[in-house]
Amino acid sequence: MVGRHAARSRRAALTALGALVLTSLNAAASAAPPTVPGPLPGIARTPDAARPPAQMLRAMERDLGLTPQQASDRLVEEAEAGTLAGLLRNTLGDRFAGAWVSGATSAELTVATTDAADTAAIEAQGARAAVVTKTLAELTAVKQKLDAAAVRTGTGRTPVWFVDVKTNRVVLRATDEAAAADFVKAAGVESGTVDVRVVAERPRVLKDLVGGDAYYIDAQARCSIGFSVTKGGQQGFATVGHCGGPGATTTGSDQSDQGTVQASTFPGKDMAWVGVNADWTATPDVTAQDGQKIQVTGSVEALVGASVCRSGSTTGWHCGTVRQHDTSVSYAEGTVDGLTETTVCAEPGDSGGPFVSGTQAQGTTSGGTGDCTGGGTTYYQPVNPVLSAFGLTLTTTASEALTPGPQDNAAADAWRAGRVYETGATVSYAGQRYRCLQNHQAQGARSPQNTPALWQRV
């Protein structure tokens, strides 16, 4: 089941989702009328998935071997899969063990569970079911032990570790098996719990050269603008932390005064933001193929297996897919947690540049291995944690920014534009309660009642 047939099957399955989802609803909620009755055209789509930028379609054709129609269909299927994965995750609860999309020309959703009894219900929604032994929470707990051990021990020969939802394992990449064994032992983890893979290269940060839209730090180093943001009345942009510490001054690509690094974290995380002066204006634009631009409309997190594209001045506009979320990477400068690994190539000078999926902001280029001649692996710092950590609002299309929806200001859990929500979070809005389906920052007019791709009424 691939291509358009898969998309139609998932849309049809969503119309019958109640059999599984309603098991998690209380009596009052189940008695309420559905938000969107009948067939659900668009309910499974991340906003704007049906209007992908032409520049992204062309790059996916080049880098992923897809026709323009296949690329367009795949983006829609990925968006629908994201919503369905969120619905099933909320319903499975503690039994949930991960979700991902796969397929060379389409996006087939797989949802993993630790209970075989869930198989029929998952498949009834148009997704494949994988029955595994460990929940996502159990695997994450193992990875967290490795994270803690990395603070106490050297990780020069154990540079990358992550939860691989496809294999239901925690994976550790090491330059030799002895170093891996020592690291696992130091973490207090049973050796059989971690899948060790021997690799030759260690990721490095891509710094001090031009990338994306160039900016200069203290007249010495150059990095790339990621995404425009605001904080209160201050405009600026998000970038990576290894480009400069708090207080560092920046100049633009034209060497004119630009701003100051307001906050920066590296290692640990690789995040920073620069506040700019009045000569600079925040826009939702991202430089794409041949100097053209696309506009960011939100920050909905893409699933493992989903397509992503990256902008950078050294190698330009390149696409690939998401391999892993929540990856820990040990650079020579220290360990960074929570990165996303991709198949997109990059080279020194691309650091800090933006990753997007469709028109949804994903993160900023951190580091990697390989190059764009022979191929490589690139890691990005997800943008939603940056927005949350520094209290930033992503700059998106003007219509959203100027049309905020009403809010239940009296409620402690009222939905609020600008707040970053994770899958499973519950909010109140216009007298109703909703559960979040996909990680994202709430944007202006896209309130829960208007975005069923992101919120489930409960």
| CATH, residue 11 | 3.30.300.50
366 belongs to the catalytic site = no
pLDDT digits (tens, 9 = 90+) for 388-433: 999 999 999 854 444 444 555 557 899 999 999 999 999 999 999 9
Q: Is the bond preceding residue 34 a cis peptide, omega within 30 degrees?
A: no
Residue 47 has which token pair? Answer: 């906003």
| E-only strand ranges, 137-181 | 160-164, 169-174
The reply to whether 22 and 154 lie within a common domain is no
The reply to whether 340 and 242 lie within a common domain is yes
**pLDDT reading at 327 higher than 90:** yes
The domain boundary residue, chosen from 131, 150, 172: 131
Cα gap 445→433, rounded to integer Å: 17
Cα gap 327→166, rounded to integer Å: 14
Residues with Cβ < 8 Å from 400, sequence gap 6 or more? 297, 443, 444, 445, 446
User: Which stretch, 46-55, 202-211, 291-300, has highest mean pLDDT?
Assistant: 291-300
Residue 295 has which token pair? Answer: 């506009």
- pLDDT for the residue numbered 50: 61
Q: What is the mean pLDDT of residues 61-85?
A: 93
The reply to whether 67 and 32 lie within a common domain is yes
The reply to whether 302 and 391 lie within a common domain is yes
The reply to whether 10 and 51 lie within a common domain is yes
Quote the DSSP letter at residue 33: P
Catalytic residue among 48, 72, 228, 242: 242
242 belongs to the catalytic site = yes
440 belongs to the catalytic site = no
Beta-strand relationship, 293-295 and 285-287: antiparallel
- pLDDT for the residue numbered 314: 82
The reply to whether 286 and 430 lie within a common domain is no
Cα gap 32→25, rounded to integer Å: 11
Catalytic residue among 164, 270, 326, 337: 270
The reply to whether 292 and 365 lie within a common domain is yes
| E-only strand ranges, 54-212 | 96-102, 108-113, 128-131, 160-164, 169-174, 194-198, 204-205
Catalytic residue among 328, 351, 357, 447: 351
Domain containing residue 116:
3-131
- pLDDT for the residue numbered 125: 93
Q: How many domains does the structure of the chain reveal?
A: 4
* CA-angle at 157, arms to 151 and 162, nearest 5°: 65
Mapping DSSP to helix (H, G, I), strand (E, B) and coil, where does residue 104 land? coil
**pLDDT reading at 295 higher than 50:** yes
The reply to whether 359 and 217 lie within a common domain is yes
323 close to 342: Cβ distance less than 8 angstroms? yes
Cα gap 126→106, rounded to integer Å: 14
Cα gap 354→226, rounded to integer Å: 5
| CATH, residue 300 | 2.40.10.10
The domain boundary residue, chosen from 182, 198, 214: 198
| CATH, residue 421 | 2.10.10.20
Residue 277 has which token pair? Answer: 């002066």
The reply to whether 299 and 241 lie within a common domain is yes
Number of alpha carbons in the 13 Å side-chain half-sphere of residue 308: 38
**pLDDT reading at 324 higher than 90:** yes
- pLDDT for the residue numbered 412: 84
- pLDDT for the residue numbered 169: 95
The domain boundary residue, chosen from 105, 131, 157: 131
